[in-house]
Structure 1
Amino acid sequence: MPKKRKPHGRDEVMASVLEAASELFANKGVAGVSVRDIAAKAGVNHGLIHRHFGSKEVLRRQTQEKLSADLIGEMGPGSSFEETMSMAWAALLKHDAYWRVLARTLLDGKWQGEIQSDFPFVDLAVQMAKKEQEQGRVIEDADPKMIVAGIMAMALGLEVFQDYILTAAKLKDGDPLETKANILNFWRNLIKLKEEPLE
């Protein structure tokens, strides 16, 4: 097996470090990973991490933002609020490092400053919810931010605590993906969104 080429140049080093940090933070949490661990996995000298990122906290935030950008890039533009939320859930399932790093960061309580610098998907979802309220497709007497927050809480909660939730609610017998989709469809009905059939 040929030896893997070490990354060279700023862009290659940063990309390799972010990829290594994504995997390690997702599996062990930010607190459980050292800069040297990340450097070893990325195939770079640990001094390069300090040079290009400054600190482990800056690396953590840039890792979260890269994972967020990957998630959004997977989605593409939705034509409706419901389609956007469905695509977001599908992307969330595919890019589990995003929510794993996020959950570990929050549970460890070791971050400083902002979790992310901005939240473009949430801003878009709120705008789309408000637009569909105006068209009568979404319940009108609810704050669109609350609608989006509720859907996010349900989707992220189902991913992070899936085994506990499905076991406790005695929903473990069926296909987990279909069960979670049915739970999210139930939320759609509560806010008066048309339910789409499962694929």
Structure 2
Amino acid sequence: MRRPQGRDEVMAAVLAAATELLTESGPHDITVRRIAERAGVNHALAHRHFGTKEEIVRQALRAQADTVVAELAAHVAGSEPDITKLMAVFANYPTYWRSLAHVALHDPALAEQGAAPTTQLFVDLLRRAGDERAQVSAAVTASLMLGWLAFGDFVVTATGADRDRTNRAVATAVHELLERR
């Protein structure tokens, strides 16, 4: 395998490796050396371009969040966002929500800074709907969606619930939160 060359390739490889490691185990089990090893670069290069593990984690989450928000933008452009499609977009990015969940559980301050674009999307949607408590509603909405993404399969299996019906019920609950005025 060809080693990344140049600043842009090295940074992209480091962020991709960090994302993989975050998805697997979260920030507590990774080091800059492990990230660099996975990326196929010298760890001194990772330090030079990012400084710290925390900065790598922030930027890895931010890059993923930016990608998700770019896809979500098409679904929230109209006056009535399709919540089922929004949830499907999030579901299509398991590396994002898994790494976000790991980071949120082990180092919430990193998750708060790295996930800002997706969080801001919900705050903006809620403000647009006239919600004066948009930040609180966004927190509840994000918690519901992240909980469903992370634990939905387990909960459905444990309770014997129908996955499609439960998914629709979660979408309805999210829709109701976004429509509250």
TM-score range relative to shorter protein: 0.7 to 0.9
Deviation track 1:88-121 (CA, whole Å, cap 9, x = no partner) reads 3222111111111111112223x66673167233
| d(CA) in 1 for partners of 2:6, 2:128 | 45
Q: How many Å apart are 1:180 and its aligned residue?
A: 4.0
Percent identity over the alignment is 31
What does 1:111-126 align with in structure 2 at a 5 Å threshold? 115-116=112-113, 119-126=116-123
Runs (4+) off by over 4 Å: 111-114, 188-193
Question: How far apart, CA to CA, are the structure 1 residues paired with 2:166 and 2:72?
Answer: 19
If asked which structure has higher relative contact order (CA below 8 Å, sep 6+), I would say 2
User: TM-score normalised to the size of structure 2?
Assistant: 0.82
Greater helix share, structure number? 2
One-letter amino acid matched to 2:81: E
What is the correspondence of 1:60-139 to structure 2 with a 5 Å cutoff? 60-77=57-74, 78=76, 79-83=78-82, 85-109=83-107, 115-116=112-113, 119-133=116-130
Aligned CA distance change for structure 1 residues 50 and 149 (closer, same or farther; 3 Å): same
Show the counterpart of 2:31. Answer: 34
Give the match for residue 51 of structure 1.
48
Runs of 5+ unmatched residues, structure 2: none
Distance 1:192 1:74, change over 3 A: closer
The structural deviation recorded for 1:35 is 1.9
Aligned residue type for 2:133: D
In structure 1, what is the equivalent of residue 172 of structure 2? Answer: 186
TM-score (norm 1): 0.76
Relative distance call for 1:117 and 1:108 in structure 2 (3 A) is closer
Q: Against the structure 1 CA distance between its residues 47 and 192, is the aligned structure 2 distance closer, same or farther, given a 3 Å change threshold?
A: closer
Give the unaligned 5+ runs of structure 1: 134-139, 194-199
- Between structure 1 and structure 2, the one with the greater Rg is 1
Deviation at 1:11, TM superposition (A): 0.6
Q: Which amino acid aligns with 1:29?
A: G
Aligned residues: 177
